[in-house]
Amino acid sequence: MLFDFLWPCDLWAPLRLLSQSAFPYLANIPNSHAIPDDQLVAWLDEMVFRHLFESCEKPSNAPVEMERCFRLTRRGGEAWESERRPRWERYVNVDAFPSNEPDYRILCLDQALGRHYIEVGVDAGLIAAPKSLRHRVLKDANLTPWRRFSAVHEFSYKLAPDEADSPDWESYERGRSWWSSSKELLKSASWAQR
């Protein structure tokens, strides 16, 4: 479960947020992982020793609220991939990021899938129709921090300030032909996994 949470991004997760009580809130899931808190540090150290996770140590002069953090390594991502067996051609990496104005960025391996994702989002009222959609192909690019592909399609556009506040989630789910999280991958296993 910790691998499922950490695989998609270059995320450093603080130790206290990986505890059994905090983890469900961090990962937005109803249940926690099965590692008891009194064994968690030893388990994480084992993952670091096996080069599946890496950790950053708190500097000795750092404030008390700073603590040891963990993230998945390339080897950890490959271990996750061998177990979950994702179909990367159905993966959509969605990223809203700040600039002068808010931007929305979509990364995927298939141009038609990226356009379909935007179309379904607009039809379901999840996003406003982009006024200006930019598309480019990134060569030898990362789709996740640990996984490179020969060509990745990038779509980007400015977010409208009046994004819909009550999307039709049923319509969105009916139109779905992609996965963008571990929860979606596991829920849609018939077409999302090899």
Q: What is the mean pLDDT of residues 120-126?
A: 91
- CA dist 150 and 139 (Å) reads 5
Alpha-carbon dihedral of residues 127, 133, 134, 140, nearest 10 degrees?
Answer: 40
Q: What pLDDT, on a 0 to 100 scale, did the predictor assign at position 99?
A: 54
In the chain, where does the domain assigned CATH 1.10.10.10 lie?
2-84
Instruction: Give me the pLDDT at residue 164, please.
Output: 56
Compute the mean pLDDT over every residue in the chain, rounded to the nearest whole number: 83
Decide: helix, strand or coil at residue 44: helix
Q: Is the pTM of this model over 0.85?
A: no
- How many Cβ atoms from other residues are within 10 Å of residue 100's Cβ? 6
pLDDT at 139: 96
- Comparing 64 with 166, the larger pLDDT belongs to 166
CB 74 within 8 A of CB 54: no
What pLDDT does 191 receive?
Answer: 63
Residue 101 has pLDDT above 90, yes or no: no
The structure tokens listed for 185 are: 């991958």
Render pLDDT for 153-183 as a digit per residue (tens, 0 to 9).
999 988 766 555 688 999 999 999 999 888 7
CATH code of the domain occupying 2-84: 1.10.10.10
Rounded mean pLDDT of 120-137? 90
Pairwise CA distance, residues 140 & 120, whole Å: 28
The encoded tokens of residue 5 equal 């949470």
pLDDT at 92: 93
Rounded to an integer, the average pLDDT of 51-77 is 77
Lateral strand order in the sheet of 13-14: 13-14, 69-72, 53-56
Per-position DSSP letters for 135-174, written without gaps between them: EEEEEEEEEETTEEEEEEEEEEEEPPTT--SS--HHHHHH
Question: What percentage of the chain carries pLDDT values higher than 90?
Answer: 36
Q: Which amino acid is at 33?
A: H
What per-residue confidence (pLDDT) applies to 189?
Answer: 60
Single out the residue of 24, 83, 28 nearest to residue 52, CA to CA: 83
Lowest mean pLDDT among 107-116, 137-146, 164-173: 164-173
User: In the prediction, which pLDDT does 98 show?
Assistant: 46
